[in-house]
A and B are shown apart, each in its own frame.
Chain A
Amino acid sequence: MKPPPFHYHAPRTEAEALALLAELAPAEGRILAGGQSLVPAMALRVARPLHLIDINGLPGLDRLDVGDGHLRIGPLVRHAMIRRESVPGPLGALLDKVRGHIAHLPIRTRGTVCGSLANADPASEWCLVVATLGGEMTARSLRGERAIAAEDFFQGFMATALEPDELLAGLRLPLLADGTRWGFHEFSRRAGDYAQAASLVVMEVRDGVVLAARIGIGAVEDRPRRLPEAEALLIGRAPTAELLRQAAATARATLLPTDDDPTRPALAEAMIRRALADAAGIALP
């Protein structure tokens, strides 16, 4: 399990990196960021890049910035850098909780948030966060820069809208207003493993009534997504146990699982129900 040979490139500037990517992408060139998914794939020889463009030495890419009502996550921000204290409001608490579900400490110290998005594993927690909250990705290449909305970014099983010559140059997540409630649940067979189902729910409740709701599901279909039918059910109504149960059941009915486990929808429903219950602050088994 030794990686196949490749040529190593360590650009000093982002411009240099983009130039290398433009030149080498057609020749099986890829970006190397955290490498926590790419390098195992190379060890198994299922990934065979001929060129790796290592961006770890580029200055300034590991920044977490808050402004404009958004959190901006640079391409070298490691999972471990996402902490409650670095992000204001409910979003900080939400991301902190999600971080704790991503693999294990030594992977978190090295792997990057943007790397996870570019890898687009359907079970990735960050992909679920981006799909649910409506994150926006910045793709940069010699041809210029473009913004890609979450619903356009994830295109299927480990497939994204990024062109081969594009660097995922950052992610923007909207901050959550104070008082926004959220819930996150996932099930994996073993600590730190990829989830078999994961759900993130974000909800604004005023005067006992749901004003806005986002319900996301991951690890069930070929990509994470929101569940609009279930969301619609909640709007304008009081988040009672009965309503939440109904919403989870509605969500389940709209799922198209990619595997043949007949109990996967029930598992997904349970995760959605729990995420909803946490967001609504009520107990639901």
Chain B
Amino acid sequence: MTEALDVTLTVNGERHAVRVEARRTLADALREDCGLTGTHLGCEHGVCGACTVLLDGEPVRACLLFAVQAQGRAIRTVEGLAEGGELSPLQRAFIENHALQCGYCTPGFLMLGTALLERDPTMSDEALVDALSSNICRCTGYANIAKAVRAAAAEMRERVPA
């Protein structure tokens, strides 16, 4: 047992004051202390990517960060993607392209995909495959995940003319 620390996590713009041991991972803090169970744990050793969240806009594995390290940083999770009840283009594209089956890896892929699209919706196919190889999906065989990200990218390119 070690001392509990007071940490304020800013998740999807909302502040959560939590009291956690230093060893509590960000993923567990989000799930257990903030009640945001959309972030899933698939391996807890950084391989599968199910727990991918955005930290100051960058995709990170929430199982490889301690909650205390996220103090003062802007965290985004799958719960924050829909705005005012309206799905994000990527969320919609996942449904329309059947990019999920069991849905367990979906939050991680949505956060990874969101980071990619916000960074560069014009990325090459090769770069897209390289980036999506970060996460594991055991159901879909990936083809529809790539299709969904491309579809959302196309929609975003239309919205913001280059």
A residues sitting closer than 8 Å to B (CB atoms) are 1-8, 10, 35-36, 39-40, 42-44, 52, 54, 56, 80, 100, 104-107, 109-110, 191-192
Point out the residue from B65, B115, B133, B135 that lies within 8 Å of A35, measured CB to CB: B65
30 A-B pairs (CB sep. < 8 Å): A1-B45, A2-B44, A5-B2, A5-B22, A6-B22, A7-B2, A7-B3, A8-B22, A36-B46, A36-B61, A39-B25, A39-B63, A40-B46, A42-B23, A43-B63, A44-B45, A54-B69, A56-B69, A80-B58, A104-B49, A104-B131, A105-B59, A105-B112, A105-B130, A105-B134, A106-B60, A106-B112, A110-B58, A110-B60, A191-B133
Q: Give min CB distance, B47 to chain A, whole Å.
A: 8
Given contacts A7-B2, A8-B5, A56-B69, contact A40 B45 (CB under 8 A): yes
Cβ of B93 within 8 Å of any chain A Cβ, yes or no, is no
Q: Is B23 in contact with A5, judged by CB distance below 8 angstroms? A: yes
Which of A5, A44, A109 is packed against the most chain B CB atoms within 10 Å? A109
Q: Is B25 in contact with A3, judged by CB distance below 8 angstroms? A: yes
Which chain B residues border A44 with CB–CB below 8 Å? 45
Q: Is B44 in contact with A106, judged by CB distance below 8 angstroms? A: no
Q: Is B61 in contact with A43, judged by CB distance below 8 angstroms? A: no
Which chain B residues border A2 with CB–CB below 8 Å? 23, 25, 28, 44
Cβ of B52 within 8 Å of any chain A Cβ, yes or no, is yes
* Complex CA distance for A107 and B59, rounded to whole angstroms: 8
Cβ of B78 within 8 Å of any chain A Cβ, yes or no, is no
Contacts A42-B23, A192-B133 known; list 12 others, CB within 8 Å: A3-B23, A40-B46, A43-B44, A43-B45, A44-B45, A104-B49, A104-B131, A105-B130, A105-B131, A106-B134, A107-B46, A107-B134
Q: Is B23 in contact with A6, judged by CB distance below 8 angstroms? A: yes
Q: Is B1 in contact with A5, judged by CB distance below 8 angstroms? A: yes
Which chain B residues border A110 with CB–CB below 8 Å? 58, 60-61, 64-65
Total number of B residues with any Cβ neighbor in A under 8 Å = 31
Given contacts A3-B23, A54-B69, contact A106 B45 (CB under 8 A): no
Point out the residue from A4, A56, A80 that lies within 8 Å of B23, measured CB to CB: A4
Which chain A residues border B3 with CB–CB below 8 Å? 7
- SS class of chain A's interface: helix, strand, loop or mixed? loop
Which residues of B, 8-27, contact A by the 8 Å Cβ criterion? 21-23, 25
Cβ of B99 within 8 Å of any chain A Cβ, yes or no, is no
Cβ of B68 within 8 Å of any chain A Cβ, yes or no, is yes
Given contacts A3-B23, A6-B2, A43-B44, contact A104 B64 (CB under 8 A): no
Which chain B residues border A191 with CB–CB below 8 Å? 130, 133
Given contacts A105-B131, A106-B60, contact A1 B44 (CB under 8 A): yes
The residue on A at minimum CB distance from B2 is: A5
Cβ of B104 within 8 Å of any chain A Cβ, yes or no, is no
* Complex CA distance for A1 and B44, rounded to whole angstroms: 7
Q: Is A5 in contact with B21, judged by CB distance below 8 angstroms? A: yes
Q: Give min CB distance, B77 to chain A, whole Å.
A: 14
The residue on B at minimum CB distance from A34 is: B64
- Chain B 46-77 interface 0/1 with A at a Cβ cutoff of 8 Å (1 = within): 10010010000011110111101100000000
